[in-house]
Structure 1
Amino acid sequence: MAMLFDPTIYDNLKVALENQLYDLDNLDERVRVVNRADRLDMAVMSREFALQFVLAGEDRAKRIIGEIKLDSSLRDLATELLELQEGDPPGCSLRLLFHLTVGDVEAECPRIEAAVRELWGTELSVTQTLLFVYGVERGNCGCRDTVELRFNRRIDEEQMNDLPELLEHMLLTLEALEHI
């Protein structure tokens, strides 16, 4: 008797995110997917899926990259597969990232945070990480800013219906960041 494959929470969410983002790319032509990563870390048996995309259109002044990351650990997988009842319920971590260049850090970073907070509220953890090349005048090349939004809880299939709204908010965020 053949055993049926029962996809994990991670697998189901990953496929749903992929389908919706590629539909926004191929069917709706609202975004262009520019990078995709699907990693399995054998040392700690964790999985990470990431899709990067930009708003469609050649006339975009800034190329701000949106990125959605889904993570699952060995504990998540074991809790789900062994149907363990103790501890946290199984789920995945979801992070949203926006990669952009800022010229005037002191002026632009607070505006970026305000724009993100206006769209996402205050419940999410927002971190801006700046990267610049030492010895290069920042006024000439700018700093790379990675804006990361973390949710205060894990997600599972119960949030599957929220994914289209989440992606729509990401697109609104990309549009808002273009105007900073």
Structure 2
Amino acid sequence: MFHPLVFDNIKVVLEGAVYDRDFDGDILVTSRADLIDTAVYQRLFQIDFRLPEGAPAGKREVTAQFQLRTSLADIAGELLEQPLTEHIGCTVCIHFYTYVQDVEGETSEIVGILNEIWGDRPHITQRISARLDEHRPLRWPPDIYENKITLDFHRKIDEGNIGDLRDLIDHTVVSLVRLSE
């Protein structure tokens, strides 16, 4: 008999919990992807969402993205019932996409907000970039920068962590609200 992988079980619960929040009107799901990378045999599920009303005047637009990944070693170890890795499971990363103008000040503020919500648990990184359009005159420094904020928990999860997924979503929604202010 076929038994779903740890990845599949977690994905179903995560996706259902996110769509429950969408159905309740707390968030608006904007995109989802369920991918298999056959070059390295890795699975990836990601779902993007934002606050339903978007960014009101004077507030920052922020989008969240949950990413759930598993690797060949985890999949093979589970299917063969032989541990090929230290712990069979999946990794979760949460990304926030927004814009900043004052790079030094706003990125520090973002870390403070996220640490207050998440309790210094995930490792936070920010990637600042600027879009340069070949059809427009180069203006440097730009007025606004794109900011990709990543929360990485640096550990694998399995079915024993399914109960924590709703808390992760709750914290992500609170983060969306606070980061947009």
Tell me if TM exceeds 0.5.
yes
User: Are positions 1:44 and 2:46 aligned together?
Assistant: no
Residue 65 (structure 2) aligns with: 67
Instruction: Give the corresponding residue for 1:133.
Output: 131
CA apart distance, 1:127: 0.4
How many correspondences in the alignment? 174
SS in 2 for 1:78: helix
Counterpart secondary structure, 2:112: helix
C-alpha contact (below 8 Å) 1:101/1:145 kept by paired residues: yes
Q: Aligned letter for 2:27?
A: V
Q: TM-score, normalised by structure 1?
A: 0.91
- Structure-2 residue corresponding to 1:57: 53
3-state SS, counterpart of residue 47 of structure 2: strand
Assess if the C-alpha contact under 8 Å between 2:73 and 2:85 holds in 1. Answer: no
CA contact (8 A) 1:51 1:67 kept: yes
Q: State the match for 1:161 in structure 2.
A: 163
Cα RMSD (Å): 1.5
Question: Residue 120 of structure 1 corresponds to which residue in structure 2?
Answer: 118
CA offset at residue 139 of structure 1? Answer: 4.8
Scaled by the length of structure 2, what TM-score is found? 0.90
- Partner of residue 11, structure 2: 14
Please tell me whether the aligned partners of residues 93 and 155 of structure 1 are also in contact (alpha carbons under 8 angstroms). yes
Offset at 1:138? 4.6
Q: Is the 8 A contact 1:132 1:138 kept in 2?
A: no
Consecutive unaligned residues in structure 1, runs of 5 or more: none
Aligned residue for 2:155, secondary structure, equals coil
* Residue 170 (str. 1) matches residue 172 (str. 2): yes
AA aligned to 1:76 is D
Check the 8 A contact 1:79/1:89 in 2, yes or no: no
In the alignment, the residues of structure 2 paired with residue 120 and residue 136 of structure 1 have an alpha-carbon distance, to the nearest angstrom, of 37
Give the corresponding residue for 2:95: 97
For structure 2, the residue ranges without an aligned partner over 5 or more in a row are 133-137
